[in-house]
């Protein structure tokens, strides 16, 4: 079994195509992993029968030579993606029994390319959170330092924990302000948030429409490239989807970075950042330099306004996006004697505290009399942050930053929402600017927790992002496995 | 109040003097589109409840709106027909509020940047007078669903068929000064919409509805506080509601009160308006740009192409009818009111006497339809048949009097006039010998009168004509009868 689990996505795909292994045995190995690691709580729903039948289908195609790019690869899906006939709850009580009659574009793309679904992965409720603690069904536990019950990060905490614990070969995530990159960093894996518009949002439960973007969580950069190849693509059903063809990212794995310019923003090493992270950040800079990159200090002067602007824009959109969960057509409804009372009870019982908090913030900042001071000002800040990046990309090709200011923390320890929001301080600016970013593990801190480093590329330069990330990955040589991973 | 009869429309005589109405209209026109504004679901009327509902309309999780380009084109067409500025970049906003028949929890509309800006239209008033009414803006928005409160003692049912249907909201400037002007304005907008095919204008089915903003002031003073009367679905109700609302406001002001800015409903059974919600209860709609949709952008050349494809509009058509058919401007304005009228008229009058056709259409046909309670589209008489009738009159086959008889038969049987004339033997007799026979008969039956006439009692000539016509059962050509009688009685 363990040999099967040792294979990363690219290796497993190779082995499948060479008929060294079958999808059925691979899928069964992962289903066993899921049960072995069930105490982590990564999965909300396991679809064993469906996984087995999809694996058998894949094996037929592998045998008759019609295998597709992800043929037979067992993956987990964040519960924000609507999956046809499979319960989709967004980790919320308000959708606890919701079964979509439709399939999101991104997951459909994955199935069309031969991937096998294992199940649905926990996340923060409606993807609002940075610790996976807002999930209605409870925490997910980070497989690293398993006994200490560390946070896997959020909101794609279930996805990151599943990949790190080897209970999924890869997983999908969604990233609004860091929800792929931060949990990837906390769990010692790779997480890629593509350029806004790269992946269709159709069929993904909306949190903040102008920021939400789907992406992969994987063991390696090549795995991420292979996953994103399948996930991305123009979709007429999403008006904000980019009508641009993405080149085959697998062609960019070994392009190297000789002569490329890497920007080091001075604003990303401020107070509050862990010294050990700074140490690995500096080490990463040196590694890239050694590989022939030119290191250039840059400034993104509006960085400090990014987090406040984000926590206005995202809740504003969320307050409107979540208005549809009203108990009228689907989802949990609380019976009441009037329409208003039904709304109050349904939404009062259905949403958790963090979701309610953001709905209230969002409602407030859009209210007449406050709109200009908050929402409109935040949009102006967003434009300035975009311009910051545009200016810097005139001088450099990529920007290197830490992914998070700290490594993972114990579950239940960060109760103050504002402290929690600071987790996203390094990931939010790229989200506001719509830029692609990747977090990859470069080492462990003294307590044995993974440290993630983030690379940010210019819009639609996922190919360059992959090339650069591969160089850092190879040189950092992170090859640790979580103690809580399936054996 | 003794000088009421001399008051102009839109003026109200109070104790303290004459009050003037200030009126602005928001017309909601449903776009004649097969599918909805942001989803592929059917926009047809009268289907079984919840049959025309897509995943987007039901606001299922993760569903996204995609703009229907046909609807955008209709809005631009309408803007051009209203002589308005077309905004080549416009933005969709979300108007947030909770209601059971609003699945998304917001309506997608256009708030700060509408697709069409300022324009103006000429409005024809009753007495050949015209006035110009300014258009403030036109924007695209989604319709809401329907709540059915009368199907169950304690529950409401929701029908989402209308949810997401494309509406154009056409907002006038507060340029309207009387209920009659408001009615004429709505008629003109409806007529324009029908000409260009952007909206069927069917008020009974709710394709065209209006919200009326009404305030009163003394002439020359600033605008007063206004009230909005919601959702009026007939021109008659618009006129009644404005009049009654303005009178209500005058009564309050005359007693020293003030008008509360509020939303009101018109009760068709009492003919009065009543409060729906006050300004304090007004929703805070929290408008913001819809992040699911990109700004709506189009090129000038695209707008130009639409402009060139516009059909001839009522104002220009009216001028042309006067010129080409020699009819009065008044008749022309009646005929251009509806696209159907003018199409019918042009077919019927083609190559015929335009004036005669206009008279028959406006007086006889419209009169008969009204009497039989029929709409124009239900007319038993086709344009071909009316045209044929005009020809039969013009070429002397039948007299005007017989024509009326034929016409009423056409209304009943839908037969063509020549068929009726043939069946009933109603052809006018113009043949000299036939008529001479009748004249001889009348002369021999009335020898005394002939003598009286011959001895100078000229007035009797009419009597002889009448007798001949009577004998012919009205079929004799009166001109020929006159001529032959004169010769015979020399």
Domains in chain B: boundaries: 10-304, 312-424, 432-488
B316 touches chain A (CB under 8 A): no
* B60 contacts A201? CB cut-off 8 A: no
Chain B stretch 36-55, residues whose beta carbon is closer than 8 A to a beta carbon of chain A: 55
Per CB-CB distance under 8 Å, the chain A contacts of B99 are 339
* A375 contacts B103? CB cut-off 8 A: no
Average pLDDT rounded to a whole number, residues B129-149: 94
Q: How much of chain B exceeds pLDDT 70, in percent?
A: 99
- Long-range contact list for A25-29, CB < 8 A, 24+ apart? A26/A55, A26/A72, A26/A73, A26/A74, A26/A169, A27/A51, A27/A52, A27/A54, A27/A55, A27/A72, A27/A74, A27/A116, A27/A118, A28/A52, A28/A55, A29/A1, A29/A4, A29/A5
Looking at the complex, report in whole angstroms how far the Cα of residue B108 sits from the nearest Cα belonging to chain A. Answer: 11
Q: Which of B62, B65, B98 lies closest to A323 in CB terms?
A: B98
Q: Is A210 a catalytic residue?
A: no
* A101 contacts B55? CB cut-off 8 A: yes
Q: For residue B1, what pLDDT band results from cuts at 50, 70 and 90?
A: very low
pLDDT on residue B5: 59
pLDDT on residue B2: 45
State yes or no: pLDDT of A248 exceeds 50: yes
Q: Which of B66, B98, B103 lies closest to A329 in CB terms?
A: B103
* A366 contacts B104? CB cut-off 8 A: no
Q: Is A78 a catalytic residue?
A: yes
Average pLDDT rounded to a whole number, residues B373-380: 93
* B66 contacts A371? CB cut-off 8 A: no
Residues 6+ apart with CB under 8 A from A383: none
Looking at the complex, report in whole angstroms how far the Cα of residue A210 sits from the nearest Cα belonging to chain B. Answer: 5
Distance CA B215, CA B203 (A): 25
Chain A, nearest residue to B97 by Cα = A323
State yes or no: pLDDT of B358 exceeds 50: yes
Q: Which of A82, A210, A330 lies closest to B62 in CB terms?
A: A82
B59 touches chain A (CB under 8 A): yes
For A88-139, write each residue's pLDDT tens digit: 999 999 999 999 999 999 999 999 999 999 999 999 999 999 999 999 999 9
Q: Which of A82, A320, A329 lies closest to B106 in CB terms?
A: A320
Per CB-CB distance under 8 Å, the chain B contacts of A376 are none
B429 touches chain A (CB under 8 A): no
Within its chain, how far is the Cα of A331 from the centroid?
25
* B288 contacts A210? CB cut-off 8 A: no
Mutation pick from A102, A324, A380 vs chain B, by most beta carbons of B within 10 Å, is A324
Mutation pick from A321, A338, A360 vs chain B, by most beta carbons of B within 10 Å, is A321
Mutation pick from B94, B286, B297 vs chain A, by most beta carbons of A within 10 Å, is B286
Q: Is A23 a catalytic residue?
A: no
Looking at the complex, report in whole angstroms how far the Cα of residue A290 sits from the nearest Cα belonging to chain B. Answer: 43
**Does 3.90.1150.10 match the CATH number of domain A1-487?**
no
B60 touches chain A (CB under 8 A): yes
Per CB-CB distance under 8 Å, the chain A contacts of B158 are 328-329
Distance CA A255, CA A448 (A): 32
pTM recorded for the entire structure:
0.90
State yes or no: pLDDT of B234 exceeds 90: yes
pLDDT on residue A1: 53
* A102 contacts B60? CB cut-off 8 A: yes
Give how far Cα B450 sits from Cα of B433, B440, B459, B471, B480, Å.
Answer: 20, 11, 11, 17, 19
Per CB-CB distance under 8 Å, the chain B contacts of A368 are 284, 286
Per CB-CB distance under 8 Å, the chain B contacts of A203 are 62-63
Looking at the complex, report in whole angstroms how far the Cα of residue B31 sits from the nearest Cα belonging to chain A. Answer: 22
pLDDT on residue A427: 97
Any idea which of B210-214, B255-259, B450-454 has the lowest mean pLDDT? B450-454
Residue B422's closest CA among B390, B401, B392, B394? B392
Residue B233's closest CA among B210, B257, B213? B210
Average pLDDT rounded to a whole number, residues A304-318: 97
Average pLDDT rounded to a whole number, residues A9-21: 97
Distance CA B45, CA B161 (A): 8
Per CB-CB distance under 8 Å, the chain A contacts of B104 are 323-324
Contact B148, B158 (CB under 8 A): yes
Q: Residue B208: exposed, middle, or buried by beta-carbon count in 10 A (0-12, 13-18, 19+)?
A: buried
**Which residues of A lie inside 8 Å of B (Cβ-Cβ)?**
81-82, 88, 90, 95, 98, 100-102, 104, 201-206, 208-210, 236-240, 316-317, 319-320, 322-324, 326, 328-330, 337, 339, 343, 363, 366-368, 371, 375
Dihedral pair phi/psi, residue B481, rounded to 5°: -60, -45
State yes or no: pLDDT of A465 exceeds 70: yes
> Which tokens in the block code for residue B95?
């108007």
Average pLDDT over all residues of chain B? 92
* B284 contacts A368? CB cut-off 8 A: yes
For A60-96, write each residue's pLDDT tens digit: 999 999 999 999 999 999 999 999 999 999 999 999 9
Q: Which CATH class is domain B432-488?
A: mainly alpha
Q: Residue B433: exposed, middle, or buried by beta-carbon count in 10 A (0-12, 13-18, 19+)?
A: exposed
Among A78, A120, A260, A414, the one annotated catalytic: A78
Per CB-CB distance under 8 Å, the chain A contacts of B292 are 206, 209, 239-240
pLDDT on residue B323: 94
């Amino acid at each position: 079994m363990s040999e099967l689990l040792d294979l990363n996505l690219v290796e497993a795909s190779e082995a499948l195509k060479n008929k060294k292994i079958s999808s059925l045995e691979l899928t069964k190995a992962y289903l066993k992993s899921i049960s072995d690691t069930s105490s982590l709580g990564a999965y909300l729903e396991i679809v064993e029968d469906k996984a087995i039948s999809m694996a058998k289908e894949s094996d037929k195609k592998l045998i008759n030579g019609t295998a597709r790019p992800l043929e037979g690869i067992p993956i987990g899906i964040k519960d924000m993606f609507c999956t046809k006939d499979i319960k989709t709850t967004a980790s919320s009580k308000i959708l606890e029994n919701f079964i979509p009659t439709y399939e999101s574009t991104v997951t459909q793309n994955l199935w069309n390319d031969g991937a096998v679904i294992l199940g649905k992965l926990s996340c923060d409720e409606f993807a609002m959170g940075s610790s996976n603690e807002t999930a209605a069904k409870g925490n997910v536990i980070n497989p690293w330092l398993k006994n200490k019950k560390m946070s896997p990060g959020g909101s794609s905490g279930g996805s990151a924990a599943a990949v790190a614990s080897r209970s999924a070969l890869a997983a999908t995530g969604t990233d609004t302000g860091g929800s792929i990159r931060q949990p990837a960093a906390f769990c010692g894996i790779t997480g890629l948030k593509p350029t806004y518009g790269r992946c269709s949002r159709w069929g993904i439960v909306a949190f903040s429409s102008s920021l939400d973007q789907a992406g992969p969580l994987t063991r390696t950069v090549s795995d991420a490239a292979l996953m994103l190849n399948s996930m991305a693509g123009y979709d007429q059903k999403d008006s904000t989807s980019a009508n641009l063809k993405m080149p085959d990212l697998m062609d960019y794995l070994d392009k190297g970075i000789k002569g490329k310019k890497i920007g080091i923003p001075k604003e990303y090493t401020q107070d509050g950042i862990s010294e050990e992270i700074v140490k690995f950040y500096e080490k990463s800079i040196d590694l890239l330099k050694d590989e022939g990159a030119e290191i250039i200090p840059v400034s993104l002067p509006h960085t400090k306004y990014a987090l406040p602007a984000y926590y206005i824009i995202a809740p504003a959109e969320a307050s409107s996006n979540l208005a549809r969960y009203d108990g009228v057509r689907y989802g949990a409804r609380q019976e009441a004697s009037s329409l208003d009372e039904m709304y109050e009870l349904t939404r009062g019982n259905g949403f958790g505290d963090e979701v309610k908090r953001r709905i209230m913030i969002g409602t407030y900042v859009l209210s007449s009399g406050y709109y200009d001071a908050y929402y409109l000002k935040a949009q102006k800040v967003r434009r300035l942050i975009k311009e910051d990046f545009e200016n810097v990309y005139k001088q450099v090709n990529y920007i290197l930053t830490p992914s998070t200011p700290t490594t993972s923390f114990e579950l239940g320890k960060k109760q103050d929402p504002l402290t929690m929001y600071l987790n996203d301080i390094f990931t939010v600016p790229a989200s506001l600017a719509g830029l692609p970013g990747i977090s990859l593990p470069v080492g462990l801190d003294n307590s044995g927790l993974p440290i993630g480093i983030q690379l940010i590329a210019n819009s639609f330069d996922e190919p360059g992002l992959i090339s650069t990330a591969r160089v850092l990955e190879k040189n950092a040589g992170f090859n640790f496995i979580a103690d809580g991973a399936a054996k | 109040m003794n000088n009421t009869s001399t008051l102009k429309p839109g003026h109200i005589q109070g104790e303290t003097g004459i009050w003037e109405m200030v009126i602005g209209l928001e017309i909601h026109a449903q776009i004649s589109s097969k599918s909805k504004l942001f989803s592929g679901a059917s926009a047809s009327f009268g289907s079984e409840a919840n049959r025309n509902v897509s995943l987007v309309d039901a606001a299922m999780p993760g569903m996204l709106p995609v703009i229907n380009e046909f609807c955008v084109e209709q809005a631009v067409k309408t803007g051009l027909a209203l002589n308005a500025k077309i905004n080549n970049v416009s933005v969709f906003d979300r108007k947030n509020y909770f209601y059971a028949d609003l699945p998304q929890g917001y309506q997608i509309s256009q708030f700060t940047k509408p697709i069409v800006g300022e324009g103006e239209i000429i409005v024809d008033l009753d007495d050949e007078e015209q006035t110009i009414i300014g258009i403030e803006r036109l924007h695209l928005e989604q319709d809401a669903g329907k709540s059915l409160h009368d199907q169950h003692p304690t529950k409401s049912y929701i029908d989402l068929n209308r949810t997401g249907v494309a509406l154009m909201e056409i907002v006038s400037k507060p340029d309207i000064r009387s209920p009659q002007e408001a009615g004429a304005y709505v008629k003109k907008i409806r007529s324009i919409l029908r000409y260009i095919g952007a909206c069927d204008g069917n008020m009974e089915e709710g394709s065209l509805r209006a919200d009326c903003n009404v305030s009163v002031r003394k002439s020359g003073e600033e605008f007063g506080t206004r009230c909005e009367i919601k959702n009026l679905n007939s021109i008659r109700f618009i006129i009644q509601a404005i009049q009654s609302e303005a009178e209500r406001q005058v009564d309050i002001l005359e007693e020293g009160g003030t008008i509360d800015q509020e939303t009101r409903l018109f009760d068709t059974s009492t003919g009065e308006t009543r409060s729906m919600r006050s300004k304090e209860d007004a929703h805070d709609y929290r408008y913001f740009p819809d992040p699911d949709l990109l700004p709506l952008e189009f090129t000038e050349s695209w707008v130009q192409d639409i402009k060139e494809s516009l059909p001839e509009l009522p104002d220009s058509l009216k001028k042309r009818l006067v010129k080409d058919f020699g009819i009065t401007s008044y008749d022309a304005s009646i005929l251009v009111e509806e696209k159907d009228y003018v199409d019918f008229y042009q077919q019927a009058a083609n190559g015929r006497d335009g004036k005669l056709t206009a008279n028959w259409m406006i007086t006889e046909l419209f009169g008969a339809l009204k009497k039989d309670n029929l709409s124009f589209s239900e007319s038993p008489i086709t344009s071909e048949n009316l045209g044929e009738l005009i020809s039969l009159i013009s070429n002397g086959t039948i007299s005007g009097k017989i024509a009326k008889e034929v016409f009423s038969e056409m209304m009943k049987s839908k037969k063509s006039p020549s068929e009726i004339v043939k069946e009933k033997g109603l052809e006018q007799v113009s043949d000299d010998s036939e008529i001479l026979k009748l004249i001889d008969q009348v002369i021999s039956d009335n020898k005394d009168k002939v003598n009286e006439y011959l001895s100078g009692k000229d007035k009797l000539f009419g009597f002889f004509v009448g007798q001949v016509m009577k004998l012919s059962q009205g079929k004799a050509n009166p001109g020929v009868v006159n001529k032959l009688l004169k010769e015979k009685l020399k």
